Amino acid sequence: MNNSLQAVIFDLDGVITDTAEYHYLAWKALGEDIGIPFTREFNEELKGISRMDSLDKILALGGRVNDFSLEEKEQLAHKKNEHYKELIQKISPLDILPGIQELIVEIKEMKLKMGLASVSKNAFTVMDALRLTDQFDVIVDANTIANSKPDPEIFLTAARLLEVDPSHCIGIEDAAAGVDAIKSAGMFAVGVGSVQTLYKADVVYESTSDLSFKNMVELFEKNKK
């Protein structure tokens, strides 16, 4: 029992649903507005980090860090968020990514605890729209924590609220910053996406439909030996 798996903690955007794409589209539009176009490759750096940290990275990319006051930056972040909120308006349970609902069922069948660790201030809105809020034992979002991923705080907070030691948890992430956060929290990291980006994870599946709970648990247990 000492080394056993007791909880699975999910990231939201890009793992449970494809809102990572909507964050990208909204930032891309804002970047173009202020003369800072960027690629999907650069967008990987924005995944998993807070709204303001994302804006700072975009401004740094364009060499415009000192061009805006704090108030103007807040207006830019607000504008991005208004666009993002428009894009997520039609989200429904049909937008849960393939394989996720099955994974949730398997986790519950094994009587494990389940948490969400998302640095998004929109996490509850999205979870409610997906009708998933009640299925999770704990939801930790941007409002509960002081430090965004890659800081481990959000995963550690979820584990503490679930009353589980981090070493008994699996964390699932689509962002490099998120994988860093899981590893720094002392958890087993499952990546969803490309190995090039998520190489620090303990195992990487190309997409959510490739997630195999059986395989994940086997690797988690092997890792403990």
Residues annotated catalytic, as ranges = 11, 13
Among positions 170-209, residues that touch ligand BG6 (CB under 6 A) are: 175
Taking the least distance from each CB to ligand BG6, the nearer of 118 and 208 is 118
Q: Name the minimum Å distance from CB 38 to Mg ion.
A: 18
Q: If binding is defined by CB under 6 A, does position 17 make contact with ligand BG6?
A: no
Spatial distance between the Cα atoms of 111 and 59, rounded to a whole number of angstroms: 45
C-alpha 16/C-alpha 95 separation (Å) is 9
- Among the listed ranges 57-65, 119-127, 156-164, 216-224, the one in contact with ligand BG6 (CB under 6 A) is 119-127
Q: How far apart are CA 199 and CA 225, in angstroms?
A: 22
Q: Looking at 6, 17, 122, 208, which residue binds ligand BG6 (CB under 6 A)? A: 122
CA separation for the pair 34, 28 (Å, rounded) = 10
- Residue nearer to Mg ion on the CB measure, 149 or 168: 149
Check the CA dihedral 175-189-13-77 and report its sign.
Answer: negative
Decide if residue 120 touches ligand BG6 (CB under 6 A).
yes
Nearer to Mg ion, 18 or 165 (CB): 18
Residue 12 — φ and ψ, nearest 5°? -100, -70
The mark string for 142-181 relative to Mg ion (x by CB under 5 A, - otherwise) is: --------------------------------xx------
**Considering only residues 6, 13, 16, 203, which one is a binding residue for Mg ion as defined by CB under 5 A?**
13
Helix (H) or strand (E) holding 192: strand 188-192
- The answer to the question of residue 11 lying near Mg ion (CB under 5 A) is yes
Residue 48 engages ligand BG6 in binding (rule: CB under 6 A)? yes
Q: Compute CA distances 46 → 100, 121, 197, 219, whole Å.
A: 23, 15, 12, 29
Does 78 help bind ligand BG6 (rule: CB under 6 A)?
no
Close Cβ partners of 221 (under 8 Å, ≥ 6 residues apart): 3, 4, 5
Peptide bond into 166 cis (omega under 30): no
Q: Binding string to ligand BG6 for residues 126 to 155, with x set by CB under 6 A, is what?
A: ----------------x-------------
In angstroms, the Cα distances linking 54 to 23, 98, 99, 205 are: 10, 28, 29, 25
With CB under 5 to 8 Å by kind, the binding choice for 17 among ligand BG6, Mg ion, none is none
Binding footprint of ligand BG6 on the chain (CB under 6 A): 12-13, 20, 23, 46-48, 50-51, 54, 81, 118-122, 142, 175
